Structure 1
Amino acid sequence: MTGSGDSETGGAVAPRFAVIPVLDLRGGRVVRARRGERASYAPIETPLAKGSAPGDIARGLLDAWPADTLYVADLDAIVDGTAPDRAALSAIAKTCPGVVLWVDAGFSAPEAVAAFLETGLGRPVIGSESQSDPGLAARLGDRAVLSLDTRGSARLGPAALHDDPALWPADVIAMTLAQVGAGAGPDLAGLAALRRRAPGVRLYAAGGVRGIDDLRALRGAGAAGALVASALHDGTLGRAHAPALA
């Protein structure tokens, strides 16, 4: 399986490059993300599943790529400040037993994070765009994932969170919102800059992956993995490509 585990290479344990399929939720359905323009996201139409039910789309994504982690963005929670959609998350978890969910639901308050962790539905993603306290992700440590959110040249959220790697947990997503669903390719230069500042952090690229060549380039740039949606739905990336990253 090409997921986020380890593989044996020449007697040594080497980290695998993790491809993490993405689901964007709105109103209890999965929607298609384009350039981070959330107001225009429409229910997804994909050859991977019929309809846009979260469980069905999650199963289709895992049929398309042998992943052991899924990233779920709850757009209602991120944009409107509502509670995480537990019904949708539970449907995904039930359909995909054993798969870890990374859940971005606009978490910014410790109490909300604690309540979510008690559900056992996954690891909370602390998105920089939602933060007023730059220290929340560091206090959560390995229980959470940090997403450093950017839109073009604009860094979203507290500057300190972007500037100080001491505030980062072990897993960090470089989220380039303007490149999500745009087919423009990943931000290799931005990822390399983060890598130089925090060589011990596991960095995951999000936005712009078009196919296997982009995944190879990201791996070469030092990424631990990539979040992918459009390439899987469009068929430019699929299970047949997984051995190339094993």
Structure 2
Amino acid sequence: MELIPVIDLMGGVVVHARRGDRANYRPIASRLCEGAAPDDIARALRALAPFRTLYVADLDAIAGREPHRAELGGLAGHFARLWVDAGEARLAGPGLHRVLGTESMADAEGGLAALREGPAVLSLDHGPEGRRGPAELHERADLWPGEVIVMTLARVGGDAGPDYDRLRGVLARAGGRRVYAAGGVRDAADLRRLAEIGVAGVLLASALHDGRLGAEDLAAFMG
């Protein structure tokens, strides 16, 4: 099971995502390092564990503002792969893989056109109100690419735990696709349970920065 740290970028710094309430995100306060500069956070994450992939949510780009091009270029130097959700922005670079979030798709036709443009990871986004984006892309597994994220925004930065029921539902329809869990991971017990239900990987943020998941915990799943 691959463990993937998450960085949320807003206004040039890393912010602490909480339950999808982006208007109230503030610069992250991490036990791993001082400050919220993207490069410092990336170095601290690499010192914690040999993560191969970094997921980056460019919240400014998702909101239709200018992407963090310089910051993304710097982050690419620390990881073999960057998974980047930048909304409708078209970004390119070494190791950069586009994440297409359903919340940024106006309709299924546009989402499918974006998926056909090249290799991409599909994020099936869910807010407190339920599914976000075109219902067809949530329902039809035959339209999914090889890697799919189940993103439960209402559980990001919270203590409710992963959305196991939704993950099981996606896994049951995914065929040979790799399914990744995002949102709500609290500790090693959650990682063990996610491994047991068959997810290919897990996106992590709060539990890394507040110390609930330490180097030994991560090593047990990355060995």
User: What TM-score bracket applies, with the shorter chain setting the length?
Assistant: over 0.9
- Which letter does structure 2 place at the counterpart of 1:178? A
Asked whether 1:158 is paired with 2:134, we answer yes
Superposed displacement of residue 61, structure 1: 1.6
Q: Is the 8 A contact 2:49 2:219 kept in 1?
A: no
Equivalent residue in structure 2 for 1:186, among 145, 162, 165: 162
Asked whether 1:103 is paired with 2:84, we answer yes
Superposed displacement of residue 166, structure 1: 1.6
Provide the secondary structure at the position in 1 that maps to 2:87: coil
Q: Is the 8 A contact 1:131 1:157 kept in 2?
A: yes
Equivalent residue in structure 2 for 1:170, among 136, 146, 152: 146
Q: Is the 8 A contact 1:66 1:242 kept in 2?
A: no
1:57 aligned partner? 41
1:82 aligned partner? 65
Provide the secondary structure at the position in 2 that maps to 1:135: helix
**1: distance between equivalents of 2:53 and 2:149?**
14
Provide the aligned length of Structure 1 versus Structure 2: 219
**1: distance between equivalents of 2:212 and 2:10?**
25
Q: Deviations over 1:33-70 (max 9, x none)?
A: 10110000001111211211101101112222321000
Superposed displacement of residue 154, structure 1: 1.2
User: What TM-score do the two structures reach when normalised by structure 1?
Assistant: 0.85
Q: Deviations over 1:64-105 (max 9, x none)?
A: 2321000000011112x12321111112123x1x42110001
Q: Is the 8 A contact 1:63 1:239 kept in 2?
A: no
Equivalent residue in structure 2 for 1:91, among 74, 80, 91: 74
| Superposition RMSD in Å | 1.4
Of all paired residues, the percent bearing the same amino acid is: 53
Asked whether 1:139 is paired with 2:119, we answer no
Equivalent residue in structure 1 for 2:124, among 148, 153, 177: 148
**2: distance between equivalents of 1:54 and 1:105?**
16
Q: Is the 8 A contact 2:76 2:94 kept in 1?
A: no
- Which letter does structure 2 place at the counterpart of 1:160? E
Superposed displacement of residue 121, structure 1: 5.6
2:102 aligned partner? 128
Q: Is the 8 A contact 1:134 1:160 kept in 2?
A: no
Superposed displacement of residue 153, structure 1: 4.8
**2: distance between equivalents of 1:209 and 1:24?**
16
Provide the secondary structure at the position in 1 that maps to 2:137: helix
User: What TM-score do the two structures reach when normalised by structure 2?
Assistant: 0.93
Q: Is the 8 A contact 2:100 2:115 kept in 1?
A: no
Superposed displacement of residue 32, structure 1: 0.4
- Which letter does structure 2 place at the counterpart of 1:48? L
Q: Is the 8 A contact 1:89 1:121 kept in 2?
A: no
**1: distance between equivalents of 2:176 and 2:115?**
15
Asked whether 1:47 is paired with 2:31, we answer yes
**2: distance between equivalents of 1:231 and 1:124?**
25
**2: distance between equivalents of 1:229 and 1:202?**
20
- Which letter does structure 2 place at the counterpart of 1:123? H
| Structure 2 gap ranges (5+) | none
| Alpha-carbon spacing, 1:62–1:216, altered in 2? closer, same or farther (3 Å) | same
